[in-house]
Amino acid sequence: MASQEILGFLVSGEWVSGEEMATRLGVSRAAIWKQIRSLRKRGYGIESSTKRGYRLAKRPDILDAGLIRLGLKTKWLAKDLRCLSEVTSTNEVARSIARDAASGTVILAETQTRGKGRLSRSWTSPPGGIWMSLILKPKIPLAGAYQINMAVSVAVSKAIHGVTGLAAGIKWPNDLLIREKKICGILTEVSAEMDQLDYAIVGLGINVNVDLSGFSEEWRTTTLSNELGHDVSRSELISRILLEIEEALEMMGSRELHEEWRSRSVTVGKRVRISSASGEFVGEVMDLAVDGALLLQSGEEMKRVLAGDCIHLRPLEAA
Ligand code: BTN
């Protein structure tokens, strides 16, 4: 018997007697007690009472695949879910197994020593965050890969709101901001054969309960715990994110998903500076096209920008 089965009984937070668990699992009460002890050692706050049995009073903020699975309602995503302690980068780990892994495999780590951001930047990944990579193998052309980013950014924004009540807006193309400060970054790396997508590794970095003191000043960053004044259960947030991602991936290519992405945008209507392969432009963002392009009014010209770095400007900086 695994402690996972005991957690299955206790996860509701109600009292459950040792006898009931022992009978239902077909084991002795001593075996139940042994598992309770091991769960306590792993940080689970389990109260006991001779009359009522056991009750889960506090879950530790550790990444435990078993605990995440208990709250997971997906049909196919994260059927293979691995929680690691320290890795270089979850995207790297995912890439090393991607060829043989099932679509929907998820890699999580407590910390990363060489977390990667977009545009070859590094990504600070101390304990308390969600550092997660998904291996996805949708049958879409390479040119449609932007839809994955669209789906994932919408999904994470919805999940953060659902779990914490905080509004995390999407900064084009796929950062999430709370009050103009970055809460989540997404790095998607693809492998393709001819022009068909072979697999995509979608890496998500979310500052949940991390200590910001190790972050460089130049980054306008916040954390969910900072915004709320208390810690957030990473397991609950991860389960919700995965469910929202599964649902959003099933909507890829739809008008509805594009509308969701557009309506959650905090870039539309802003003055921005864009650095892209074709140069640097300042202008006002008029809209977001169905193919993910940003429509920028720059002087007399209306530009379509498909990829690049975007900085939101305050009205005066833009002048
Ligand atoms: C960005 O620059 O905004 C994207 C940051 C993506 C960070 C995540 S953390 C999990 C995954 N592993 C990495 O090395 N990077 C991504």
pLDDT, one tens digit per residue, over 113-156 is 999 999 889 999 999 999 999 999 999 999 999 999 999 999 99
Q: What is the CATH number assigned to the segment(s) 65-263?
A: 3.30.930.10
Phi-psi group of 189: left, alpha or beta (phi > 0 → left; psi -120 to 50 → alpha; rest → beta): beta
Q: In this structure, which CATH number among 3.40.50.1000, 3.40.50.1370, 3.40.190.10, 1.10.10.10 belongs to the domain 3-58?
A: 1.10.10.10
The sign of the dihedral angle between the CA atoms of 304, 305, 311, 312 is positive
Query: Which of 131, 93, 134 minimizes the C-alpha distance to 109?
Result: 131
Q: Which amino acid, one-letter code, is at 195?
A: D
Give the number of the atom of ligand 1 that is nearest the alpha carbon of residue 119. 2
pTM: 0.88
As a whole number of angstroms, the distance between CA 151 and CA 292 comes to: 11
pLDDT at position 218: 63
Task: Give me ligand 1 centre to Cα 121, in Å.
Answer: 9
The mean per-residue pLDDT over the stretch 147-169 comes to 98
Q: Is the peptide bond before 173 cis (omega within 30 degrees of 0)?
A: yes
pLDDT tens for each residue of 192-225 = 988 999 999 999 999 999 988 877 766 689 999 9
As a whole number of angstroms, the distance between CA 178 and CA 261 comes to: 16
CATH 2.30.30.100 applies to domain 271-318: yes
Looking at the chain, which residues constitute the CATH 3.30.930.10 domain(s)?
A: 65-263
Q: What would the two tokens of residue 123 be? A: 């990504």
Looking at the chain, which residues constitute the CATH 1.10.10.10 domain(s)?
A: 3-58
| Nearest residue by C-alpha to atom 11 in ligand 1 | 203
Asked if residues 64 and 85 have their Cβ atoms less than 8 Å apart, the reply is: no
Looking at the chain, which residues constitute the CATH 2.30.30.100 domain(s)?
A: 271-318
pLDDT at position 178: 97
Instruction: Enumerate residues lining ligand 1, CB below 6 A.
Output: 89-91, 112, 115-118, 121, 123, 125, 131-133, 175, 185-187, 203-205
Is residue 141 helix, strand or coil?
strand
The sign of the dihedral angle between the CA atoms of 165, 221, 127, 214 is negative
Among 88, 96, 120, 125, the mutation site with the greatest number of ligand 1 atoms within 8 A of its Cβ is: 125
